[in-house]
Amino acid sequence: MRPASRDFDLVVTGGTCVTPWGALETDLGVRDGRIAELGPLSGRVAAERFDAHGLHVLPGIIDSQVHFREPGLEHKETIASGTAAALLGGVTTVLEMPNTVPPTTSPEALADKLARVPGRASTDIAFFVGATEANAEALASLERLPGCAGVKLFMGSSTGSLLVDDEAALTDVMRHGRRRVAVHAEDEARLRARRHLVEAPGTRVEAHPVWRDERSAERATERCLRVARRFGRRVHILHVTTAEELDLLEEHRDLATFEVTPQHLTLSAPGCYETLGTLAQMNPPIREARHREALWHAVRVGLVDVIGSDHAPHTREEKARPYPASPSGMPGVQTLLPVMLTHVHEGRLSLSRLVELVASGPARVYGIARKGRIAVGADADITVVDLKRRVHLTHAMMRSACGWTPFDGMEVVGFPVAALLRGRIAMRDGELVGPPTGRVFAFEETLGSG
């Protein structure tokens, strides 16, 4: 317990705090795990001080799309390894996807994941439940369970068995429940019809975006928006990859939010396939530079709501299988922030826009109650970054159980040097501090979860 004579448990001094109302050079006082004060605090009594002079103090980064593979595929990742990687990358909160084995489609499967958090998660965490043709009605109550981040729906099949491809089932999911539905938008019928394009022996991974083409993504997004509109159901389109979808999303701004990934903003075809081979294979695919440029434009003009990593670990042995037997997905939770800070350094977006995309944006989209902003009353989740720090990313630095990164060899400029989780210094100078203290967190009251 804090003695009555002490004002704060921790004061972060002298950093530049990126708040919703601007970047301020100010101290930040933490009490009982929350931000209690912003302003000059030099005369106040604190148990601990963190000197942030010369550093930027950001709200704890929220990665709202990660696949941690537990239960069932722990050789690729676990909640322990995935959240440790996240924290080393300056991410303090993750929303985890349901395509595990078994998939998270029932109260029991969600309860099983929740039971795996205490003492093992290094970040705060919540879990999506997966939509299926069979559980559409049950989703209305499932989505309100504590620890549930919302509903995830796969319109096209990717890793795992989750799929809602027919219109009646899609309609059923959209009708039941109220929370925003997170959608993987690729059109299953078109993917099936075009699968022959990659089935000839010797087909190279360069064919991946030809098979899973622009039209596959556009058709699914169109259909999703049309059905969601009928019920006024809010949706969040994950990992948008095409210029064409952006126009649609602009039209449906009152209904739909959307995400782009650092991979789609950084890599482009065909170069990524030439240098990375199947390591660059993901769904929806990395496409040509014209799409990447359109995504950047959407970032700059305020259309994009969220940047999420779509951290999708597979082992190097699995990725080395000949295409198309190689699984789709790249890890990214540990590199999300440094890669995006490098884009800030190179002038592609401002630091405050980045904070919007990786903190306040995900909090707004999913209704996370006390995270995503530096403000009094918020959880004291803080990511401290050195915008000048240059680091060469390597496979060896990655804490993910999969042990590799598509950004191996890249020099990043801007790096997380510390992270506070609800007021405790949980990462400092590339090391985790103390045992894992991650917890399940609360969403806004009206959403019924938390």
Task: Report if residue 329 touches ligand DOR, rule: CB under 6 A.
Answer: yes
Task: Report if residue 104 touches ligand DOR, rule: CB under 6 A.
Answer: no
Candidate list 184, 208, 319, 343; residue touching ligand DOR; CB under 6 A: 184
Task: Report if residue 123 touches ligand DOR, rule: CB under 6 A.
Answer: no
**Site mask, ligand DOR, residues 146-165, x = CB under 6 A?**
------------xx------
Compute how many residues bind ligand DOR; rule: CB under 6 A.
10
| Alpha-carbon span 405 to 297, nearest angstrom | 26
**Complex with ligand DOR: residue 16 or 65, whichever CB lies closer:** 65
**Complex with ligand DOR: residue 159 or 342, whichever CB lies closer:** 159
Candidate list 13, 266, 283, 360; residue touching ligand DOR; CB under 6 A: 283
**Nearest distance from residue 159's CB to ligand DOR, in Å?**
3
**Nearest distance from residue 82's CB to ligand DOR, in Å?**
12
Task: Report if residue 67 touches ligand DOR, rule: CB under 6 A.
Answer: yes
Task: Report if residue 286 touches ligand DOR, rule: CB under 6 A.
Answer: no
**Complex with ligand DOR: residue 100 or 449, whichever CB lies closer:** 100
**Nearest distance from residue 315's CB to ligand DOR, in Å?**
12
Candidate list 64, 83, 221, 328; residue touching ligand DOR; CB under 6 A: 328
Candidate list 298, 312, 339, 398; residue touching ligand DOR; CB under 6 A: 312
Task: Report if residue 262 touches ligand DOR, rule: CB under 6 A.
Answer: no
Catalytic residue among 63, 305, 310, 381: 310
Based on the residue annotation, tell me whether 310 is a catalytic residue of this protein. yes
| Alpha-carbon span 99 to 109, nearest angstrom | 11
* Sites of contact with ligand DOR (CB under 6 A): 67, 99, 158-159, 184, 282-283, 312, 328-329
Active site residues per annotation: 310
